[in-house]
Amino acid sequence: MTHRITRIVGNRRIAPIVDGIDFADDAEDDTPDYRSAFPPSAWLIDAANAGEIAKLRSVVADRKRHAIVIARAPAEWREATSNLTRLLLGSREELRVVRRDGSPELLDSVLAFLGHCHVVLTAKPDDEIPEVYKRLALVEIDAGRITAEHVDALIRDRWPGSGARWSADRDVVSIPSHHLSTAFYQAATPGEIVEILDVIRRHDVAEKSPAKGEGEEKSDLDRASENYWTEQPKKEKQKPEPEPAKRVVDEKMKRAIAQIEVQRPASPVLDDLAGYGAAASWASDLALDIAAFRVGEIGWQDVDQGCLLVGPPGTGKTLFARAAAATTGLPLIATSYAQWQSAGTGHMGDVVRSIRTIFAAAEQNAPCILFIDEIDAIRGRGTDERDDGWWTAIVTCLLECLDGISRIEGIVTIGACNHADKLDPALVRSGRLDRRFEISLPDEPALLRILAHHAPDVSPTDLEPIATALAGTISGADVARMTREAKRAARRGKRAMTGSDVMAAALPAETRSREIVWRTAVHEAGHVVAFLVGGHVPDALSLVSGGGMSGHVRGLGSRDGEGRLGDLEARVLPMLAGRAAEDAILGEPSAGAFADLEHASTILGRVESAFGLGGYLTPGGHDRVSVEGRIRRIYGDALMLVVRHRGSIVELARLAVERRVLSRSVLEQFGRERGII
């Protein structure tokens, strides 16, 4: 039995255990509702194992227990079978480590993780399954059960009423699954399926066999080509074919390949970067797999062969590709549609040749990483009525090249785009760029690490307010620009760069009057102190204006509770404490508190109209008089809180004016030093 282990918990990868088991945590979105959503190869496996898969789906849907699954498949159908089990079980991220020593604690690992993970035991067609696994397994999925009748059903599903039939003499499982799927995708009619498969087969044979003169004796491979669609005993073992040869290129393409830049980045590595989340975990695991592949511990079919990065401009998708190359020790070839379009005259023939050249260069330099930037510049087929012929040709060429390198060992393809919804659906189908990672603007911890990377001589304490103020609003590219400006200012002053330089470049200069800034500080300090008195520490206090706000407290509405009336009123009180601080400390409130009043009124209105915690149990429009009475009572409590903690509010406001941004750690320290929390 082939041993491989994968353990998935949510979207995060956990440490490797042993090779031989697939672990997949439950997920709500990955299991398709209908078989028609599957690729053709997965459709056939599902149809041939309908009863077993129905049983498996019921367990996955129940979510109260996990299953052991035995998955059998010949080598050419192993990836299709693995992809189907991932779809059924909802696995998203993988980590594989090989162990070939037949360690006896394999069963213990299965039992240890079965309590919270699905387990998939993969096996070859002739492998003998130990009795203990047969007894424990819920189902056995076998790609070898596929027959001509199942292909007939798939044809009826894709071409209703055609009446076409698959010849019972043609063994479906002897055809590589990716060949079969490609034929179904590309065929316009059922009759074209066999024609496409025949062309693929003849092409493979031509590349793998020397030319034969007339009268020469035919090899086993020649005879296999002739008999590919003729009668052959079911499940008859074919002699192993030689490794696929490199693509034959003409002299013109050789010269073009020689001009392709092959980068060999040594830095940064992934550990130097922040903000990539699950994508960084995937690349770290890829590095482990590449190392195992290089020493022969695993085959290339066990290595993830690509992913898609999706995110706004400036989030470091190109930098990620460089870091992945540096971490894995692979050369990097970077390209884009703009590069293809600018080659030669820009006519379609030149664009197509550029695409083929870049993929041929990747093939010549394998193992390597091929990075395709701005791949969403290639419009999906059928989206542009005027130029659809152009885009159809480009997409078809790209798909052909992607499918070609999927059968060549050593090429990892990383695509990057800003808008994944613009991609042709075929690009992100299983076996192509099917693994997707969102690269968003960095949060506070990630932004602090990025700032520290670009400004290593500045104290993290000085950088923390910047990360707090700008988290989720700027990219790594913005940070690089700001630190360049800060370094320039320091050079002009003939001194070392400081946190003040970075702050000046990062945050806009204060242009408001002292009175407005002080009122804003008192208002926000009132929010924070009320929050601290209730035992909750806000994420940040900022006096930096922007986005229609003169200042804000992040985390104001994130209080826990059981949804009782007291919990809801306790949540509203800090919202009103800002206005109360203006009222009690500055003598009168301002109109700047209207958003707080609106939010508080919405919550208290739902108490009366929807939650059944007011004067009525039946839902309906709330009584404004009742809401007004409730909000005035809570506002009175907020005023009393401000009076009791007036000194702390004033002191915190002064600190906010001085620093402009106060992080969670600063607010927590402030509250503890003054005995508020």
pLDDT tens-digit series, residues 30-63: 433 445 567 888 899 899 998 898 888 888 877 6
Cβ contacts of residue 583 below 8 Å, gap of 6+? 589, 639, 642
Last residue within a domain, chosen from 415, 438, 461: 438
Last residue within a domain, chosen from 146, 161, 184: 146
Residues 291 and 405 placed together within one structural domain of the fold: yes
Determine whether 524 is an active site residue. Answer: yes
Report the amino acid identity of residue 91: S
Residues 309 and 400 placed together within one structural domain of the fold: yes
Count how many Cα atoms sit within 13 Å of the Cα of residue 163 in the half-sphere of its side chain. Answer: 0
Query: Which carries the bigger pLDDT value, residue 343 or residue 199?
Result: 199
Active-site option among 79, 524, 569, 582:
524
**pLDDT-based confidence at residue 350 (cuts at 50, 70, 90):** confident
- Rounded Cα distance, 618 and 611, in Å: 9
**pLDDT-based confidence at residue 210 (cuts at 50, 70, 90):** low
Q: Is residue 663 part of a domain?
A: yes
Q: Is residue 222 part of a domain?
A: no
pLDDT exceeds 50 at position 221: no
Count how many Cα atoms sit within 13 Å of the Cα of residue 556 in the half-sphere of its side chain. Answer: 25
- Rounded Cα distance, 376 and 635, in Å: 52
Q: Is residue 163 part of a domain?
A: yes
Residues 193 and 280 placed together within one structural domain of the fold: no
Question: For 553-578, what is the mean pLDDT?
Answer: 78
194-203: long-range pairs with CB below 8 Å, 24+ = 194/229, 197/228, 197/229, 198/228, 198/229, 201/225, 201/228
pLDDT at 75: 85
Cα separation values, 597 from 332, 461, 578, 600, 661, Å: 56, 35, 10, 5, 24
**pLDDT-based confidence at residue 561 (cuts at 50, 70, 90):** low
Looking at residue 550, the DSSP 8-state letter turns out to be S
pLDDT at 673: 93
Q: Which CATH number does the domain housing residue 459 bear?
A: 1.10.8
Per-residue pLDDT of 466-525, as tens digits, reads 888 777 777 888 888 889 999 999 999 999 998 888 888 887 778 889 999 999 999 999
pLDDT exceeds 50 at position 660: yes
pLDDT at 104: 42
DSSP states of 413-459: EEEEES-GGGS-GGGGSTTSS--EEE-PPP-HHHHHHHHHHH-TTS-
pLDDT at 549: 67
**pLDDT-based confidence at residue 116 (cuts at 50, 70, 90):** low
Q: Which CATH number does the domain housing residue 288 bear?
A: 3.40.50.300
Report the amino acid identity of residue 503: M
Token pair 């130097």: residue:
272
For 334, phi and psi rounded to 5 degrees?
-110, 135
The pair of structure tokens assigned to 12 is: 């995060």
pLDDT at 23: 40
* Best CA proximity match to 333, nearest among 324, 341, 343, 345: 324
Q: Taking the CA atoms of the chain, what radius of gyration do you get in angstroms?
A: 31
Q: Is residue 127 part of a domain?
A: yes
pLDDT at 236: 47
* Best CA proximity match to 80, nearest among 436, 437, 409, 429: 429
Q: Which CATH number does the domain housing residue 626 bear?
A: 1.20.58.760
Residues 169 and 201 placed together within one structural domain of the fold: yes
Residues 25 and 157 placed together within one structural domain of the fold: no
Residues 258 and 390 placed together within one structural domain of the fold: yes
Q: Is residue 456 part of a domain?
A: yes
Residues 104 and 177 placed together within one structural domain of the fold: no
pLDDT exceeds 70 at position 405: yes
Q: Is residue 2 part of a domain?
A: no
Residues 54 and 100 placed together within one structural domain of the fold: yes
Cα separation values, 539 from 468, 647, 662, 664, 666, Å: 8, 22, 9, 5, 10
pLDDT exceeds 60 at position 80: yes
Q: Which helix (H) or strand (E) holds 68?
A: strand 68-72
- Rounded Cα distance, 61 and 48, in Å: 21
Q: How far apart are the first and last CA of the chain?
A: 59
Domain that holds residue 548: 514-673
Residues 665 and 567 placed together within one structural domain of the fold: yes
pLDDT at 84: 83
- Rounded Cα distance, 108 and 129, in Å: 16
Q: Is residue 245 part of a domain?
A: no
- How many helices and strands, by DSSP H and E, does the chain display? 25, 14
Q: pLDDT above 90 covers what percent of the chain? A: 19
Query: Which carries the bigger pLDDT value, residue 666 or residue 547?
Result: 666
pLDDT at 672: 94
pLDDT at 37: 61
pLDDT at 484: 92
Question: CB atoms < 10 A from the CB of 266, how many?
Answer: 9
DSSP states of 558-584: -----S-HHHHHHHHHHHHHHHHHHHH
Residues 53 and 126 placed together within one structural domain of the fold: yes
- Rounded Cα distance, 59 and 578, in Å: 52
Residues 185 and 75 placed together within one structural domain of the fold: no
Per-residue pLDDT of 269-324, as tens digits, reads 888 887 788 888 999 999 999 988 888 888 888 888 889 999 888 788 898 999 99
- pLDDT, mean over the chain: 79
Q: Where is average pLDDT lowest: 91-105, 320-334, 568-582, 622-636?
A: 91-105
Question: For 254-271, what is the mean pLDDT?
Answer: 85
Residues 520 and 626 placed together within one structural domain of the fold: yes
Q: Are strands 22-24 and 118-123 parallel, antiparallel or unpaired?
A: antiparallel
Last residue within a domain, chosen from 438, 468, 498: 438
pLDDT at 62: 73
**pLDDT-based confidence at residue 530 (cuts at 50, 70, 90):** very high
Q: Is residue 158 part of a domain?
A: yes
Q: Which residues pair with 123 in a beta bridge?
A: 72
- Rounded Cα distance, 126 and 208, in Å: 27
Tally of domains within the chain = 5
**pLDDT-based confidence at residue 232 (cuts at 50, 70, 90):** very low
pLDDT at 250: 59
pLDDT exceeds 70 at position 95: no
Query: Which carries the bigger pLDDT value, residue 570 or residue 212?
Result: 570
pLDDT at 434: 79
* Best CA proximity match to 167, nearest among 152, 146, 186, 183: 152
**pLDDT-based confidence at residue 213 (cuts at 50, 70, 90):** very low
